[in-house]
Chain A
């Protein structure tokens, strides 16, 4: 295994990790503040991809704008989910909230089929990103670098938002003690809606980001959620840096696994999860 191969594959793994990170970040934030695990998170990823396809190809909008709009649209779907459905059952057992989100998984899967059909959809690659750069002597896709850039940019934005703004402080306070925050005047219901929509937006962004390199089909929602769950379990449920670390581990492992253990791809992810659970049950960085 040459050094060049390891570097190259590592960068591939890093770009894979970014998709997972965006997904896991949303799931973690939603869980941290609302205490809900959204089974439909993967479906929001799928919708983000479909929206981006429609804006970019069908409606011929600018690519950057399509990404943003797709993310925002995902946020709107999340808003509707929270405001008109989830909100009514917060007082109930957490199990019901999970079940509600699962109902949405089923609905979104068929909705995708109704609106976009069963054929795999992929738009053209935006010209400005349609090239390669030479890395360790081999052509590396610019688009993958773009994805890495977006992932890091979002991390920075999230950090700024949560650590350096008063809104972020409110969110973190509500996450650690909901009752106290409410007693101090925070409008918890409104905060919940905003946070859930924000999380949905991140999921949709992940899906939108993938559109030029991943084809959209109605089954994507249920297949991507497993990976996200494993990432959050590894990092620690409710732990945002943990989600980043988990995404990194899984992304890199998928890339290196193909290189070093070509026969074991699928199983490696579960093996890592099982090992983490055995020795660090609360996740690598601890959870709630």
Chain B
């Protein structure tokens, strides 16, 4: 009997010690030489799992690079990553978890829906987030500019890239008179198409919309949509389904012989590494007949600067894959936070916000300017024709690059 109660006491002490250990991060105040923690979120499960993975790779890579050179103001950078599953409530829970773990900043987020839910909570958490994928214009136009939520920054180009840039690229092509939409039937698809044809029509009132189809999320077969459009004989098809859907949609389009008749297929986010990997074989065999055009939020082969080449080289070596735009945007976002913190010699949210506004930074994607009006990073990303050349790259890449200054196609306040 005596042994039983001694056993109990030992158990009790162990449990208490464990409890104290768990509670410790909530109790201890942060100290000057503690690491600077950055919380990163992206989707790592389901059909879009690669995008979260790229955010994670970009974040970790940035931390390693920064720590190799002495950290931020002498403090090491530590990255915490969590899957947000593209769900608002999970993202909010993760954000609170990060806060409890004492993170100083946050980066990431793939989903537009999630970023709109997460943004308004940032002031309550007193945390800055540099968003690095979610593309909805509402994040910066509404939440930052109109509602004044200063904690939101975006390091990746928004939907202007997908939708307004192509209008500039093709406006002078007189062969393009009939345009059609193969739309993703949700906000992104609807907004992009609207921005595209509205902008194009400003330059070319003669352009005619000959077909519009909409496919819900998780469409496995676009052949009905593609064939419905093909029957209308469009010159240009504007397609918004992205990631895995883009890969299968493009394959299905080649089987339908669509690329014989159209002049241009504009694939939104077709320059994303996972899509290029998926379509490489078709590109190599010439199935797209040099008519597939695309862009991304960063492409690894532009700009041709030493900084970018070094980044791509060491990233590929580190992870065995080329960096996708979400990786580069997350990597650069962390460097932007570093630059801002060092500028004001502080990691306090209010100070860093002021330092980030108007910050100019040299990044692998080129010069980024975080414009103060809506906290949107302004930088150039070209559009290009998808091609393949194994001397140049192991996967398809963009060539015939058309570079326009972002200021030509980014919308500006007051955003009406």
Contacts and interface: CB of A to CB of B under 8 A. Distances in A.
Check whether chain A touches chain B (CB < 8 angstroms).
Answer: yes
Residue with the highest number of chain B CB atoms closer than 10 Å, among A113, A118, A122: A118
Interchain residue pairs A-B with the least CB separation, the first 8: A118-B49, A219-B47, A120-B244, A139-B257, A219-B46, A141-B255, A217-B47, A266-B216
Contacts of A16: 221, 223-224
Contacts of B213: 258, 262
Interface in A123-181: 124-125, 130, 132, 138-141, 143-144
A263 to B, nearest CB: 6
A219 B47 CA distance: 4
A12 interface: yes
Contacts, number: 130
Given A118-B50, A141-B255, A215 B224 contact: no
B57 to A, nearest CB: 12
B49 A122 contact: no
Contacts of A113: 45, 49
B40 to A, nearest CB: 16
Nearest to B51: A118
B123 to A, nearest CB: 33
Contacts of B2: none
Interface stretch (A33-41, A206-214, A241-249): A206-214
A215 B247 contact: yes
Interface string A197-239: 0000000000000101111011110111000000000000000
A107 interface: no
B7 interface: no
Interface residues of B, number: 44
Q: Which among B244, B257, B277 has the greatest number of chain A C-beta atoms within 10 A?
A: B244
B231 interface: yes
Nearest to B218: A223
Interface in A249-288: 254-255, 257-259, 262-263, 265-266
A86 B245 CA distance: 34
A120 B247 contact: yes
Highest count of chain B CB atoms <10 Å: which of A8, A117, A215, A258: A215
Nearest to B181: A262
Given A120-B278, A213-B255, A218 B216 contact: no
Contacts of B252: 213
Nearest to A224: B220
B44 A118 contact: yes
23 contacts: A8-B231, A12-B224, A12-B227, A15-B223, A16-B221, A118-B52, A120-B244, A120-B247, A120-B274, A122-B251, A124-B282, A124-B285, A140-B256, A141-B257, A214-B221, A214-B251, A215-B251, A217-B244, A219-B48, A220-B220, A224-B220, A262-B213, A263-B214
A11 to B, nearest CB: 9
Contacts of A138: 227, 230-231
Interface in B271-304: 274-275, 277-278, 281-282, 285
Given A119-B274, A213-B255, A214-B220, A8 B227 contact: yes
Interface residues on A, range: 35 or more
Interface of B: 44-50, 52-53, 185, 212-216, 218, 220-221, 223-225, 227-228, 230-231, 243-245, 247-248, 251-252, 254-257, 260, 274-275, 277-278, 281-282, 285
A81 B98 CA distance: 39
Given A219-B218, A265-B214, A258 B255 contact: no
Contact of B228 (A122, A141, A258): A258
A219 B245 CA distance: 12
A143 B254 CA distance: 11
B248 A214 contact: yes
Contacts of A122: 247-248, 251, 278
Contact of B256 (A117, A130, A141, A266): A141
B81 to A, nearest CB: 14
Contacts of A117: 49-50
A13 interface: yes
Given A141-B255, A217-B244, A118 B221 contact: no
A266 B47 CA distance: 19
B272 to A, nearest CB: 11
B250 to A, nearest CB: 9
A222 B45 CA distance: 12
